[in-house]
Amino acid sequence: MIGPTLIIHGSDEQKAEYLPKITSGEHIWCQGYSEPGSGSDLASLQTRAVRDGDDYIINGQKIWTSGGHRANQMFCLVRTDPDAPKHRGISFLLIDDIKNTPGLSVRPLINMAGRHHFNEVFFEDVRVPAKNRIGEENRGWYVGMTLLDFERSGIGTTAGQRKTLEGMTEELQNGPADERERYRLGLSDLVISNNVAKYLGYRIGHIQATGNVPNYEASVIKIFQSELGQKIYNYGIKMFGLSGQLIPEEPTAPWSGDMPEQYLLAVPSTIYSGTNEIQRNIIATRGLGLPRS
């Protein structure tokens, strides 16, 4: 997500510094967006960054930071002008080497699947060079929304769902005939929907590649794909019967318990990156021209 965003908004120096390390895998990034009081209403974020010479000094907290315990870099939205309208007082900063940054601490959050995927991040007088700001000061909201459009396109998620469907198809092909008859039509519908999601994602990529901004289009794919993921993994659990509910720790669990775990991971997908209710409002206002509710 950060690579394509840098291509659009980054300076030549920033592109030269970061893009090679992104493509080589040297840099592993996490996202500093959500806060305890700023999730769906992200523009109300309160993490402050105050200019001090050639640096910004950051204080505040981020939450639901996926992969923050594995990452060595962070892109972050911070408030640089508390007196400006909330969308216009935000800047977009890159924080290098977060594991060794003084004042920055990462603490684990365990999800309902029992896995450590999320984190909360605390900033206490964290210094970040001003040269690490992407775009203009106080105009970072627009950089951040570009990145969210790339996230919502979800090409990688679509590919993962396709692999799951291929595995489910193989299970039916090798299973009893009555099982094939029971589940084949439902599985076919899911495969059709997965192909629709793929081409919706391609549409987002094409819009951005031609220098345009996907407004409601990114919301369409986000809703469609996140709800499809829940349907796929729920259907997979049904296909395996009662044993399909067994978690990875159970030695007899089909697919090593991957199906129920993936279902649990799919549940919050309709919440993060902007809840699906918010996405439907975006489609209504920006796509259909309807008034705000």
CATH number at residue 20: 2.40.110.10
Where do runs of H (alpha helix) occur along the chain?
2-9, 12-24, 140-153, 155-174, 177-209, 216-239, 258-266, 276-282
Residues 61 and 170 in one domain: no
Do 92 and 140 contact (CB within 8 A), yes or no?
A: yes
Is 149 among the domain residues? Answer: no
- 174 and 129 in a single domain? The answer is no
Q: Is residue 163 part of a domain?
A: yes
List % helix, strand, coil for the chain (3-state, nearest 5).
55, 20, 30
Mean pLDDT over 209-221 rounds to 86
Which one, of 8, 144, 11, lies nearest residue 76 by Cα? 144
Q: Do 46 and 108 share a domain, yes or no?
A: yes
Q: Is residue 18 part of a domain?
A: yes
Is pLDDT at 36 greater than 90 in this prediction? Answer: yes
Residues 92 and 174 in one domain: no
- State the pLDDT confidence band at 37, using cuts at 50, 70 and 90: confident
Report whether pLDDT(117) > 80. Answer: yes
Residue 22 binned pLDDT confidence (cut-offs 50, 70, 90)? very high
Backbone angles phi, psi at 31, to 5 degrees: -110, 125
**Reported confidence tier of residue 265, pLDDT bands at 50, 70, 90:** confident
* Residue 36 token pair: 């305890």
What pLDDT sits at residue 281?
A: 94
Q: Give the pLDDT of residue 70.
A: 95
**In this structure, are residues 234 and 263 in contact, taking their beta carbons and an 8 Å threshold?**
yes
| Domain limits for position 222 | 154-287
In angstroms, the CA 198 to CA 210 distance is 19
Residues 268, 259 contacting (CB under 8 angstroms): no
223 confidence band (pLDDT: 50, 70, 90): very high
Catalytic residue among 120, 151, 171, 261: 151
Residues ≥6 apart with Cβ < 8 Å to 88: 81, 138, 139, 141
- Looking at the 3D structure of the chain, how many domains does it have? 2
Residue 235 has pLDDT above 90, yes or no: yes
Residues 83 and 172 grouped into a single domain: no
The domain that holds 183 is classified in CATH as 1.20.140.10
Check residue 63 and give its pLDDT.
Answer: 95
Domain membership flag for residue 143: no
The answer to whether residue 144 is domain-embedded is no
Q: For this structure, is 151 an active site residue?
A: yes
What is the Cα–Cα distance from 139 to 253, expressed in whole angstroms? 50
- Domain-embedded: residue 184: yes
Domain boundary among the residues 89, 106, 136 is at 136
Q: Say how many CA atoms lie within 13 Å of 160 toward its Cβ.
A: 16
Question: Of 73-87, 127-141, 204-218, 221-235, which gets the smallest average pLDDT?
Answer: 204-218
What are 183-192's contacts with CB under 8 Å, separation 24+?
A: 183/235, 183/238, 183/239, 186/235, 187/235, 190/165, 190/228, 190/231, 190/232, 190/235, 191/165
E strand or H helix at 213, and its extent? none
Q: Give 209's pLDDT tier (boundaries 50, 70, 90).
A: confident
Chain segment 172-199, per-residue pLDDT in tens: 998 887 788 899 999 999 999 999 999 9
> Confidence class of residue 93 from pLDDT cuts 50, 70 and 90?
very high
Residue 162 clears pLDDT 90, i.e. is over it: yes
